[in-house]
Amino acid sequence: MNEKVFKAERISTPEWYKHTREWNEAGYWDAEASICPDRASAGQAHPWEITVRLGSICLQPGDHVAVEFNVGWTPHAGRPFVYGRQPFLEKWSPGYGATPGFDLPDGVECEFAVSEAEKMNRYFIIDMVIISGVIPAGGTFRIFPANPEGTLLKCAWFAQEVPVPVAVRKKDDKFYKRLRKIPLLHVTGAQPRLWKAAATLQPEHDRVEFRIVAADLENLNPVQNVPEPQLMDCEGWKVLGMKRYEGYHGAPMWKGTASRSENAAPHIEVFNREAGLYGRSNPVDSSLYGDLQVYFGDLHGQSSRSIGFGSEREYFWWGRDAALLDFVAPANHYGGRENITEEIWQYTLDLCEEFNKSGRFVTLFSYEWGGFENAHRNVYYAERPGKLFVDLHTHKYENIFRLWDALEEQKLKAITIPHHVKFIKRMDWNEFHTGYQRAVEVYSCWGNSEMCGPHSVQEGLKMGHRIGVVGGTDTHFSQPGSSAFGPFEMGGLTGVICDRLDRTSIWQAIYNRRCYATTGERILLDIRVNGHLMGSELKSDGARKISGKAVGTAELERVEIIRNNEVWKRIVPDGQNMVKFELEDGQNIEEILLKPRIPSHHDFAFYYLKVLQKDGHQAMSSPIWIAAD
């Protein structure tokens, strides 16, 4: 009987990052692995089978083999009583998790361990150590992530090219090295269940561009092999043309244009009776914003280059052809899987350039800065930048004031938007820069940062900060526009009000605070004070005329006009999706002015609009600031 001298390890996500950063620079083992099946639909359950074929090395007692599964893999296979439990178990327990198994050559014994569920866990690692025997060079062995006799393992619910890294650590080595060739699982959309449609008002205001894809319910993934969509006869709409294209991972998508009369229904409705599919677009309204229109996008997300999953290419591809957004910005938080290099940074910039098409889809140059003393900021450039000011080794830019100094020296237009200001590294509103800190993230997968406490957005506004508001999902699955927790959870989107869809206009509108935030739905909202749009600063000694409109994607619960962080007026619609208002604030301006607590020339008051829907989604406008004339 062999005595167990060697022990398998439970590898945490931070520990695993150290290994992945190392193997990206240290080369790979001469070995390869494959997965069977290598194609699956989103969320498909299977035992899976990973075959490893060694090259010029052998595996001896004390050598480790590790297999990485991201947190998209789940073991419950639809059984709710085990949802959220540890995906992999070390002891067979039917119905409660997948138990890995190994098919090794004769005479070879092993033991294994799996990483434990933990806070901020992003990967589950199966670690196997050889206890006795030798797998010779050129030899093969198999790993079953889920014992076929037990609970099966569901693959990721998102349609992507999903790598399953396999790595080896020799007995005397410090770090794992990845195999030369690792398994790649091609995950496609599952059964089509609905049409996903988006509509964008065009600059002339006489046409609407619409995009349509068929989607599943697992993750609203685009689905292949679907029939043609049909547009329902909506009063006031006239379809001018529609054409099919190849979209995300080959899934079909349709693009078209339509005209609409002033009194037309706000949505396009799509159906296919034979397939039982129906969908409705976001609302459009040509009466809002004067000669401007609103574009929707996601300003923040991660890919496998930072601390997420999925490639950067898939990030842009998903945003354009799956989420049907108008613009995206990756804002990667580098320093997870890979050490950031100039080559990686330039590759990201090149991808931004490749996907950026004025009038169709806009990408912003961006990255997430933070992780030290200060709250995280997302940095957005108006034009292609040079150096990336993220130094994870010397901490040269660890202070926000150093970052601002470095941006100043670069002499490029940039804005730095605080991220999740109430969570993790919380916001200190004494940090102040009128040129760079022009907006703040209020909605994301981290939650709602509008109210409550010294780090909230309202606290910054009360102190005198002139900041607009934006939203972003902070997806960690390379899927802008989709929440990090699932397709129907809340995240964040930004509505930008400008005259055209191009990089300069989108960036400048955010800088000018002509933007608002939603929890993920494309709600329309407009608020004006004396005719001035959100983001404006004006002077007034007389009564203020407060006007605006909100068009929801669902029935509205209430619409609130906020003055100096207090509800000034509340409108409760009666089963309506739309509210229009014209009000007057006749209170003496001197009676409502606030004293700034940061450097400012004037006492001030401010108004903003908040919309709450009965489905739980909400939207918040950037404020409008008033000073005495």
Label residue 600 by pLDDT band (50, 70, 90): confident
Which two three-digit tokens encode residue 567?
Answer: 């509800």
Distance CA 474, CA 496 (A): 18
Domain covering 287-522 assigned CATH 1.10.340.30 in the classification: no
**At which residue do the structure tokens 């329902």 appear?**
232
What secondary structure, in 3-state letters, does 10-71 show? CCCHHHHHHHHHHHHHHCCEEEEEEEECCEEECCCEECCEEEEEECCCCECCCCEEEEEEEC
At the topology level, CATH places domain 524-629 in Immunoglobulin-like (2.60.40)
Q: Which of 201-205, 273-277, 591-595 has the highest mean pLDDT?
A: 591-595
Q: Does the pLDDT at position 1 exceed 60? A: no
Q: What is the DSSP string of 382-416?
A: SS--------TTT-TT-SHHHHHHHHHHHT--EEE
Label residue 117 by pLDDT band (50, 70, 90): confident
Burial 57-92 (b: 16+ CB within 10 A, else e): bebebebbbbbbbbbbbbbbbeeeebeebbbbbbee
Residue of 93 and 166 predicted with greater confidence: 166
Q: CB count, 10 Å around CB of 93?
A: 13
Q: Decide: 61 and 6 in contact? Cβ < 8 Å.
A: yes
pLDDT digits (tens, 9 = 90+) for 351-367: 999 999 999 999 999 99
Q: What is the pLDDT of residue 552?
A: 97
Q: Decide: 426 and 375 in contact? Cβ < 8 Å.
A: yes
Q: Does the pLDDT at position 83 exceed 70? A: no
Q: Decide: 491 and 519 in contact? Cβ < 8 Å.
A: yes
Q: Decide: 331 and 361 in contact? Cβ < 8 Å.
A: no
Q: Does the pLDDT at position 589 exceed 80? A: yes
CA torsion sign for 391, 394, 400, 403 is negative
Q: What is the pLDDT of residue 316?
A: 97
Q: Parallel, antiparallel, or unpaired: how do β-strands 29-36 and 161-163 relate?
A: unpaired
Return the percentage of the chain with pLDDT > 90, whole number.
69
Task: Give whole-number Cα distances, 504 to 20, 355, 410, 508, 509, in Å.
Answer: 37, 15, 18, 6, 8
**pLDDT mean over 290-306:** 93
Q: What is the DSSP letter of 580?
A: E
The CATH number fitting domain 13-188, selected from 2.40.10, 2.60.40, 1.10.20, 2.60.120:
2.60.40
What residues contact 620, with CB distance under 8 A and at least 6 apart?
442, 443, 450, 469, 516, 517, 518, 608, 609, 610, 611
Distance CA 283, CA 260 (A): 12
- Tell me the residue length of the chain: 629
Distance CA 363, CA 567 (A): 36
Q: Does the pLDDT at position 439 exceed 90? A: yes
pTM: 0.94
Q: Which of 488, 368, 381, 511 is nearest to 435 (CA)?
A: 511
Q: What is the DSSP string of 213-256?
A: EEE-TTT--B-SS-PPPEE---TTEEEEEEEEEE-GGG-EEEEE
What secondary structure, in 3-state letters, does 549-568 show? EEECCCCEEEEEEEECCEEE
**What mean pLDDT, rounded, does the chain reach?**
91
**At which residue do the structure tokens 């043309």 appear?**
241
Q: What is the pLDDT of residue 347?
A: 92
Distance CA 333, CA 474 (A): 10
Q: What is the pLDDT of residue 77?
A: 56
> Using N-to-C axis directions, what is the helix angle for 342-355 and 312-321, rounded to 10°?
20
Which two three-digit tokens encode residue 315?
Answer: 């990030």
**pLDDT mean over 449-464:** 95
Compute and round to an integer the Cα radius of gyration of the chain. 27
Q: Decide: 197 and 232 in contact? Cβ < 8 Å.
A: no
Which two three-digit tokens encode residue 363?
Answer: 């990408």
Q: What are phi and psi of 318, to 5 degrees?
A: -60, -45
pLDDT digits (tens, 9 = 90+) for 144-199: 999 888 888 999 899 999 999 999 999 999 999 999 999 999 999 999 999 999 99
Which two three-digit tokens encode residue 525?
Answer: 């909202």
Of 290-299, 414-423, 530-539, 542-551, give the lowest mean pLDDT range.
Answer: 414-423
Of 126-130, 263-267, 594-598, 607-611, give the lowest mean pLDDT range.
Answer: 263-267
Largest CA distance in the chain: 93
Q: Parallel, antiparallel, or unpaired: how do β-strands 566-571 and 556-563 relate?
A: antiparallel
CATH 2.60.40.10 in the chain is located at 524-629
Q: Decide: 181 and 32 in contact? Cβ < 8 Å.
A: yes
Q: Decide: 229 and 270 in contact? Cβ < 8 Å.
A: yes
Q: Where are the alpha helices (DSSP H) in 295-374?
A: 312-321, 342-355
CATH 3.20.20.140 in the chain is located at 287-522
Q: Which of 144, 280, 244, 260 is nearest to 201 (CA)?
A: 260
Q: Decide: 206 and 291 in contact? Cβ < 8 Å.
A: no
Distance CA 510, CA 480 (A): 18
